Chains A and B, each alone.
Chain A
Amino acid sequence: MFHTGPPVVSVHPSRAMVDEAFKVQVENLPPGSPVTLHSLHQSEDKDYWEAFGHYVSDHRGTVSVADYLSCGGTYTGKEAMGLLWSMRPVPGSREGLRLRKLNVCIPQLVNISVYSGHVGGGFREQDSLASVLTERWYMAPGVRRIDIKEKGVRGTLFIPHGPGPFPGLLDMWGSGGGLLEYRAALLASHGYASMALEYFNPAEVNTAELELNYFETAFNIVRDHPQVMSDRVGLFGLSLGSVVSISLAAWSSVVKPRCCVCISGNHTHAPGGTIGGVFNEFFTNLHKVRMDENNYEIWRGMGLPIPDDISQKVDVGKINCPILLVNGDDDQNWPTVESAEDMAQMMRAAGNEHLLTRLEYPDAGHLIEPPYSPHFRATKFIKDGQKVILLWGGTTKPHSDAQEDSWKKILAFLQQNMYSSSGPRAKL
C-alpha cells in the first residue's frame, strides 16, 4: 500500500456569482471509499446552515459532485449544486429561519469539507479529511452601490460598470418589508441598473407607503438617472412587490414599464389600483387563515375565491407591456396560480393576452428566489406585532429546480425586452 498524500477538495470557480454553477471535486482518496461532502455556512445572523451528500470515490480516488450520484444526505442523485440549494439550518437551530444576505458588498462564505464514511450528522464533532472555502457574490466587480434618499423615496441603486446607458429596473420585495438589496445587486451584475425599493419598515405594516405615487416617484428616479435608458425601465417584484408591479402596469398614467417580471404575485390584492386596500382587505379576511399540523399559517385561502367582479381586481386588460408571471403550484401563501389563470382570462377578453407569459412550477412554493438559494418552506414572519410561522409551500428539489429554471428564463425575458434592438416581445 502506498502512502498517499492527504485528500484534496476543490471548488471551481472558487469565487463565483451566486447564480453561477460550480464544480466540487475531491482527489487523492483511496479508491472505492465512501465519503461525505458537506457544506457549511454561517449567516449574518450567526445561524449555521449545512447540506451534505454521500458519495463513493472512483478507481482513481476521485469524487466529482457534478458527475457522480449522491446516494444519501440532504440531496440525492446527480446534483452539481446540491450542496447549496439543499442547505437547511443545522439541528438545534431556532425555528423558521430564512437565509438572506444583507451586506451585498462582501461575499457569502461557504465551507466545503469531505468526511470519511457516510455521515448523517454531528459534523462539528468530527475532523474532516479536507476542506476548502468558496465565495459566492451578489455583486460583480465594478458594480456601484448608491444609497437613494430623495423625494421621500428610500432605496439602493446598483449600477453596472461601464459607460452605459443601461436599461433600468425597479426591484420590490414583499410584505416582510425592509430594504433587501441582493436581487437588485445581482440584476445589476447582469447589466440592469436596478433599484431595490424600501416601502415599509420591516414588519411595520402601518409605515407602508400606500399610494401609487410613491412607486411612480421611485420609478422615475431610476428612469431619470443619467446612466439609465429612460425608455427601458422595467418592474421586478416578488409577492406584494409583484402586486405593486401589476398595479402600476395597469393603472399608472405616469409609469410606462418596458416589461414586468412578477414572481408569486396576484391581481386581487389591490382592487382599483389602491395598494392601501391591500391591508384593509387583509384584516377582513383573517378568518380564512388555516393552520397546518405544525401550526404554520396557510394564507392562501384569503385570496379565494377569485372575484368575478372586475372592480375587485386590477384591470390587467389595461397592461400594455410584456409581463412574465412566475409561480409555484404548491404556493401555500397565496393562490398565485389561480390568480394567473384569471389574469390570462381577463387579458384574453381584453385582447392583450399576447403580452403575457406564464411560468408555473409543480411543487414549488411562494418564495421563488435566485438559483441555488436554499428552499424556505416555512419561516418566521411578524404579523401584527406577533411572531408567527408562515407556510410558503414547495418541496425542496422541485422548488430548487424552479428557482434555477425561472432565473434563466427571467434573464432571457429581460434580455429580449430590455436589450434587444427590436421592440419588446412577450413570448420567450
Chain B
Amino acid sequence: MDMKQHCMKLSVQPSRGLVDEKFTVMVQNLLPGFQLTIHALHQCEDGHSWEAFAHYTADATGIVNVSQDPSLGGTYSGVEPMGLLWSLRPAPGSKTGLRWRKMNVQTPMGVTISVYQGHQTEGFLDQVLLASVVVERWYMAPGVRRVPITEGRLTATLFLPSGPGPFPGLLDLWGLGGKLVEYRAALLASHGIASLALDYFTPKKTGKMVDNDYFETAYRVLEQHPQILGSRIAMLGLSFGAGLTLRMAVYSECLKLSCAVCISGSHVQPIDGPLEQIMTYYNKNVEKTHFDEDNQLIWRDLLLPFPTDPSLKVDVGRLECPLLLIVGEDDQNWPSYESAMDMREMMERAGNSHLLTVLSYKNAGHLIEPPFMAFTRASSFKTATNPPFTMMVLWGGELVAHSRAQEDAWRKTLVFLTENLYGDMKPDASFSNM
C-alpha cells in the first residue's frame, strides 16, 4: 500500500492552460491492473463545489493516461481527454438549477485533480487520497489587457490581445440574462481578436430597452480604437444576442461587419421600430411556452410556427458578409435549428447562400459555449428584462453530444473568425467544406 503511495506520480500537462486548451492527465508508476479513480474538484466563485470522476485500471506498463485509456465508469466513460472538466456537475447536496460561469476572468479557474484508490463513486472526502495536483485554467492569455469601457454610456469591457496590434475587432453579445459576461471576449482576445463584451440591458435603468444606437456606439468604440483595424470587425452573439447580430448585420448602415457568428439564435423578430418591439412580440406569444414534467420551462414554441409576414423576419437575403450559424438540434429554449433551415432557404432564394455556413449538432442544446466547461441542461434563469422573470429553464442537450458540439463549434468558430479577420480580403472568403 505504502509502496504505491511512494511511487505513484500524478501529472497534468500543462498545469496552467487556457480554458480551451486540452490537457493530459497521467498517473505513472502504478502496479499493472491497479484500480483507481481520478477525481476533479472545482469550487466556483459562488462557493459551490463541482465534481467529476472516472474509473481507470492501470495497464501492463503501470500507467493510466486519460487521453488514451478508457474510463470504465463515472461521470463519463470511454476515452475522453477532457471529460474531467466537461462532465463536472454540482456536488451531491448542492442546490438545484446551478449554472457554472466565471465572472472574474482575471483569475484562473482552479481545479484539483486527485487520485483515489479503487473505483469510488461518492464520499470522496472519506476515501484514501493517493495524490493530488492543482491545475489552473485561464480565460486570459498573458499580456491580454482588460479595459473597462464607459464612454457613450456603454457598459462594456474591451479585451486587447497581447502585443502592439493593430488587431481585428469583435462585438460579443450574450442573451436575455444580461449582465456583463466577459469570459468569451477574454478568450477571443487570447486568440488575437480585440473583443468587446457588451452589456445591453443593465445600462439604462429607465425601464426602456436600449436601441440600435447603443450597438452603433459600441461598434464605433472598436472602429476608432488606435489598436484595432476598423475595416476588420466581426460580431458574435448567443441566443437573443444572435438575433440582434443578424439584425445589425443586415440593417445597420453604421456597422460594416467582416463576418458574423450566431449561436442558438433566430432571425424571427419584428424588424421595424425600436428593439423594445421585440420584447412586445415575445410577450404576445408567451402562452405558447410550456413546462415539461419536471416543471422546467420550454420556450422554443414562442416563435413557432414561423410567421409569414416578412416584417417579422430579418431579411438574411440581403446579408453581404459571411455568416456562421451554430445550432443544437435539441435546443429546447429557442427554435434555432428551424431558424437556421429557414435562413438557408431565404439565402438560397436570394442567391447569397455562399456566405452561409451552418453547424448543426444532434443532441446539443441551447447554451453552446467555449469547450471544456460544465454542461447545463436546465438551470435557474433570471432575465434582465423589465420586469425580470426568474424560472427554471430547460436549455436541452445531452452531456456527451453537447460537450463534443462545444469543442467542435469553438474550433470552427476560431477558424472562421481567423480566416475572415486575418485572411485575405476577398469578400466571399468563406469555407464550405467544414
Instruction: Mark each residue of chain B from 115 to 133: 1 if its CB lies under 8 Å from any CB of chain A, else 0.
Output: 0000000000000011111
Contact B142 A142 (CB under 8 A): no
Tally A-B pairs: CB < 8 A.
Answer: 108
A8 to B166, CA, bound (A): 11
**Chain B residues, CB < 8 A from A420:** 6-7
Residues of chain B from 126 to 164 with CB closer than 8 A to chain A in the complex: 129-136, 138, 141-143, 162-164
Among A5, A137, A165, A191, find the residue whose CB has the most chain B CB atoms closer than 10 A. Answer: A5
List chain B residues, Cβ under 8 A from A191. Answer: 9
Cβ–Cβ < 8 Å partners of B190 in chain A: 14
Within 8 Å of chain A (Cβ to Cβ): is B168? yes
Asked if A229 and B425 make an inter-chain contact with CB atoms under 8 angstroms apart, the answer reads no
Q: Which residue of B lies closest to A128 (CB)?
A: B164
| A163 part of interface (Cβ distance < 8 Å) | yes
- Contact status A163-B132, CB under 8 Å: yes
Q: Mark B350-390, 1 if CB is under 8 A from A, else 0.
A: 00000000000000000000000000000000000000000
Contacts of A13 in B (CB 8 A): 14, 16-17, 21
- B residues 252-273 near A (Cβ < 8 Å) are none
Closest B residue, CB atoms, query A109? B142
Residue A127 is within 8 A (CB to CB) of chain B in the complex: yes
Q: CB-CB contacts of A123-156 with B at 8 A, as 1s and 0s?
A: 0000110111111010011100000000000000
Check A284 for interface membership: any CB of B closer than 8 A. Answer: no
Chain A nearest Cβ from B64, distance in angstroms: 16
Q: Which one of B241-249, B337-345, B416-424 is at the interface? A: B416-424
Q: For the complex, count residues of A whose C-beta is within 8 A of B.
A: 41
Q: How far is the CA of A2 from the CA of B162 in the complex (A)?
A: 25
Which residues of chain B are within 8 angstroms of A4 by Cβ–Cβ distance? Answer: 422-424
Is the CB–CB distance between B7 and A132 below 8 Å? no
Tell me if B110 counts as interface (CB < 8 A to partner A): yes
* Chain B, residue nearest A134 (CB): B142
Distance A20 CA – B131 CA, assembled complex (angstroms) = 22
B167: CB under 8 A from chain A?
A: yes
Quick check: is B35 within 8 A (CB to CB) of the other chain? no
Interface string of A146-181 (1 = CB under 8 A from B): 000000000000000111010000000000000000
A17 at the interface (CB under 8 A from B): yes
Asked whether A130 lies within 8 Å of B163 as measured between CB atoms, the reply is yes
Q: Are B15 and A6 in contact (CB under 8 A)?
A: no
Q: Does B250 reach chain A (CB closer than 8 Å)?
A: no
Q: Separation in Å of the A158 CB from the closest CB of chain B? A: 14
| Chain B, residue nearest A229 (CB) | B6
Interface size on B, residues (CB 8 A): 45
Min CB distance A57 to B, Å, is: 15
| Min CB–CB distance B20 → chain A (angstroms) | 12
A28 to B232, CA, bound (A): 15
Instruction: Report yes or no: A421 in contact with B6, Cβ–Cβ below 8 A.
Output: yes
Query: Nearest CB to that of B128 among chain A residues?
Result: A163
List of A residues within 8 angstroms of B162 by Cβ:
131-133
Contact of B17 among A8, A15, A161 (CB under 8 A): A15
Q: Which residues of B contact A2 (CB under 8 A)?
A: 424-426
A9 to B165, CA, bound (A): 11
- Is A407 an interface position by the 8 A CB rule? no
A contact residues around B9 at 8 Å (CB): 191, 415, 419
- B289 proximal to A (CB < 8 A): no
Chain A CB within 8 A of B328 CB: no
Complex interface bits, A111-130 against B, C-beta within 8 A gives 1, otherwise 0: 10100000000000001101
B142, A14: Cβ atoms closer than 8 Å: yes
Given contacts A16-B16, A140-B134, A162-B129, 13 further A-B contacts (CB under 8 A): A2-B426, A5-B423, A15-B17, A15-B136, A16-B14, A128-B164, A131-B162, A131-B164, A133-B142, A141-B15, A141-B110, A162-B131, A191-B9
Give the top 10 A-B pairs by smallest Cβ distance, nearest first: A133-B143, A142-B134, A5-B422, A2-B424, A15-B16, A141-B134, A162-B132, A131-B163, A133-B142, A421-B3
A–B complex contacts, Cβ < 8 Å, 11 sampled = A2-B426, A14-B190, A17-B15, A132-B142, A132-B163, A140-B134, A142-B132, A161-B134, A229-B6, A419-B6, A421-B3
